[in-house]
């Protein structure tokens, strides 16, 4: 049997009551809640309702109030309808005018131009990126093409694609490998323009090539590079990605139409307009439950709620696996309480240390903080923080070098089974426990 564990543990009634009523706010809240619920559940079946037609003195006032609610509801729905209509109109304009939405995804007129950008250092990709972004930026250079095909430059811009890859002359390396290794090399800039006809894709490519050439000549960086046009190819191709994109856009457009119709229906038919005749008479309810009965049911619920809540906390106190209170520790373990403040702890150590020079501080509490507070306050002893010795091999190794041990445990954190295991380990090494600090 571990000499530090009290074999016959008795429940300290005063400590138990202190723990229970420490949670008074929760107990009061649940007690009141029980009282209200019990009174409501018991009293509800006893209510009797009788319908009596009684003249409504202020029917016009009540009608005006509900008309205000009606107008507010209709106004909210109409505002949502207007916002959705604007959004719908914008999407409708895009669907009707975008070349990208009108193009046949399985018969795309495609023109592809490949450029090679060479640089003396690893900056070829940066130049290629700049020229590619110039092509994608659109702007004024696409206006003549848009005018030629009776559309807007924003829709021409959608038809341009740019990609980059490493040039085969760079020793078989990819673009990223060239850049990462800091090697000089070349990057292939590929520009693709699509159209509903060969004339459209070729016209867009002409404008893009002219813009790239202009951007190359006006490049403001300090990088020395050369731009070479490798090829320009026209072909008719297909794209499942464009087909999927068009499908999702049309599907979203259709769903927005359904939402518009729903708002319109709700505004015109689903929100019922009140009638003045509905408020010329009202129905009154007669309550047959006496106030005394409600009070009785409420007090019964309060009593049950108080008893049940207190019983739950008593069970937690008795059966919890964690350290509940300081007094609970004192009643379960035959270990000296070193006190609460630092001066009391130092005084207790002087009384109980019996000449120990190296004192190990272990447990589930904050051993580092405790050792820091005690450091320098007792010249005859050295305090060694070790943390928990149950799951820390380094902490357990320090146990053999110390003269005595102090337990540092924390209420609500330390577990009884862990404390028992700590005591077993300390007892096995034949080390004396000076006492415990409970926070």
Question: Are residues 233 and 115 part of one domain?
Answer: yes
Same domain? For 336 and 226 the reply is no
Residue 269 belongs to a domain: no
Using the 3D structure, point to which of 218, 237, 256 is the last residue of a domain: 237
Q: For residue 164, give its domain range.
A: 107-237
**Tokens (6 digits) for 68:** 């205000």
Residue 203 lies in a domain: yes
User: What's the confidence (pLDDT) of residue 417?
Assistant: 87
Bridge partners, 226 (sequence order): 118
Return left, alpha or beta for 377; rule: phi > 0 is left, psi -120 to 50 is alpha, else beta.
alpha
CA gyration radius, the chain: 42
365 strand-pairing partners: none
Average pLDDT over residues 323-333: 80
For position 90, what pLDDT does the model report?
80
- Residue 10: pLDDT band (50, 70, 90) is low
pLDDT at residue 148 tops 80: yes
- What value does the mean pLDDT take over residues 354-373? 86
Q: Based on the domain organization, do 113 and 224 belong to the same domain?
A: yes
Mean pLDDT, rounded, for 121-147 = 84
Domain boundary residue, one of 219, 237, 255 = 237
Beta bridge partner(s), residue 436: 337, 407
Distance of alpha carbon 234 from alpha carbon 242, whole angstroms: 19
Residue 173 lies in a domain: yes
166: CATH: 3.30.70
Convert the pLDDT of each residue in 63-95 to its tens digit.
777 778 777 777 787 787 788 778 888 888 888
Task: Tally Cβ neighbours within 10 Å of residue 11.
Answer: 11
- Whether residue 432 has pLDDT greater than 60: yes
Would you say residue 396 lies in a domain? Answer: yes
Extract the tokens encoding 167. 């040039």
The domain that holds 411 is classified in CATH as 3.40.1010
pLDDT digit string (tens) for 113-125?
Answer: 999 998 876 688 8
User: For 94-114, what is the mean pLDDT?
Assistant: 90
| pLDDT at residue 47, rounded to an integer | 54
For residue 391, is it within any domain?
yes
Phi then psi dihedrals of residue 366, to 5 deg: -85, 90
Structure confidence by residue, pLDDT tens digits, 155-193:
998 899 999 987 654 444 454 554 454 445 689 999 999
Question: Residue 129 in contact with residue 191, Cβ under 8 Å?
Answer: no
Report whether pLDDT(252) > 50.
yes
Instruction: Give the rounded distance of the alpha carbon of 386 from its chain centre.
Output: 36
**pLDDT tens-place string over residues 284-305:** 445 555 677 777 777 787 777 7
Give the per-residue pLDDT at 55: 47
For the chain, the domain total comes to 2
Highest mean pLDDT among 19-33, 150-164, 373-387: 150-164
Higher pLDDT, 112 or 390: 112
Query: Per the domain annotation, does 169 fall within a domain?
Result: yes
User: Does the pLDDT value for residue 131 go beyond 90?
Assistant: no
Backbone phi and psi for residue 165, each to the nearest 5 degrees, phi listed first: -155, 165
Look up tokens 């070479």; give the residue: 228
Q: What are the DSSP E strand ranges found in 33-136?
A: 53-55, 108-119
User: Last residue of some domain: 237, 252, 283?
Assistant: 237
Q: Are residues 344 and 230 in the same domain?
A: no
278 or 414: which leads in pLDDT: 414
Calculate ∠ Cα 160-230-213, nearest 5°.
60
**Residue-wise DSSP of 234-247:** EEEE--HHHHHHHH
Percent of the chain beyond pLDDT 90?
14
Nearest of 158, 145, 137 to residue 95 by alpha carbon: 158
Task: Tell me how far apart the terminal alpha carbons of the chain are, to the nearest angstrom.
Answer: 27
Q: Give a yes or no: residue 204 inside a domain.
A: yes
Give a yes or no: residue 295 inside a domain: no
Does one domain contain both 221 and 340?
Answer: no
Mean per-residue pLDDT of the chain: 80
Rounded CA-CA distance 278/407 in Å is 77
């Amino acid at each position: 049997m571990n000499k530090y564990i009290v074999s016959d543990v008795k429940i300290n009634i005063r400590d138990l009551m202190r723990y229970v009523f420490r949670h008074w706010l929760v107990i009061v809240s649940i007690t009141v809640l029980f009282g209200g619920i019990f009174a409501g559940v018991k009293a509800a079946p006893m209510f009797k309702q009788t319908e009596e037609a009684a003249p409504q003195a202020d029917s016009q006032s009540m009608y005006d109030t509900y008309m205000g609610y009606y107008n507010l509801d209709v106004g909210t729905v109409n505002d949502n309808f207007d916002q959705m209509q604007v959004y719908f109109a914008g999407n409708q304009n895009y669907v009707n005018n975008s070349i990208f939405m009108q193009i046949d995804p399985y018969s795309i007129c495609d023109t592809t131009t490949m450029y090679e950008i060479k640089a003396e250092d690893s900056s070829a990709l940066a130049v290629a990126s700049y020229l590619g972004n110039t092509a994608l930026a659109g702007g004024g250079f696409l206006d003549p093409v848009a005018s030629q095909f009776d559309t807007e430059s924003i829709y021409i811009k959608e038809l341009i694609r740019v990609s980059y890859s490493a040039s085969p002359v760079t020793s078989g390396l990819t673009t990223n490998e060239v850049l990462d290794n800091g090697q000089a090399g070349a990057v292939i800039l590929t520009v693709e323009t699509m159209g509903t006809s060969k004339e459209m894709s070729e016209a867009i490519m002409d404008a893009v090539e002219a813009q790239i050439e202009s951007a190359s000549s006006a490049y403001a960086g300090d990088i020395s590079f050369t731009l070479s046009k490798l090829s320009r190819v026209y072909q008719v191709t297909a794209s499942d990605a464009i087909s999927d994109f068009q499908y999702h856009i049309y599907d979203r457009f259709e769903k927005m139409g359904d939402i518009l119709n729903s708002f319109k229906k709700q505004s015109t038919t689903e929100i019922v307009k009140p009638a003045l005749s509905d408020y010329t008479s009202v129905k009154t309810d007669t309550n047959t439950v006496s106030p005394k009965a409600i009070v009785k049911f409420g007090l019964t619920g309060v009593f049950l709620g108080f008893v049940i809540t207190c019983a739950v906390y008593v069970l937690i106190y008795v059966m919890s696996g964690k350290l509940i209170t300081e007094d609970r520790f004192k009643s379960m373990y035959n270990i000296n309480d070193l006190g609460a403040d630092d001066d009391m702890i130092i005084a207790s150590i002087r009384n109980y240390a019996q000449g120990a020079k190296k004192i190990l501080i272990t447990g589930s509490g904050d051993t580092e903080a405790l050792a820091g507070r005690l450091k320098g306050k007792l010249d005859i002893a050295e305090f060694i923080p070790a943390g928990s010795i149950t799951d820390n091999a380094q902490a357990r190794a320090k146990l053999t070098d110390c003269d005595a041990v102090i337990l540092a445990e924390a209420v609500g954190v330390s577990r009884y089974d862990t404390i028992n295991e700590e005591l077993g380990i300390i007892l096995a090494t034949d080390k004396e426990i000076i006492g415990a600090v409970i926070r």
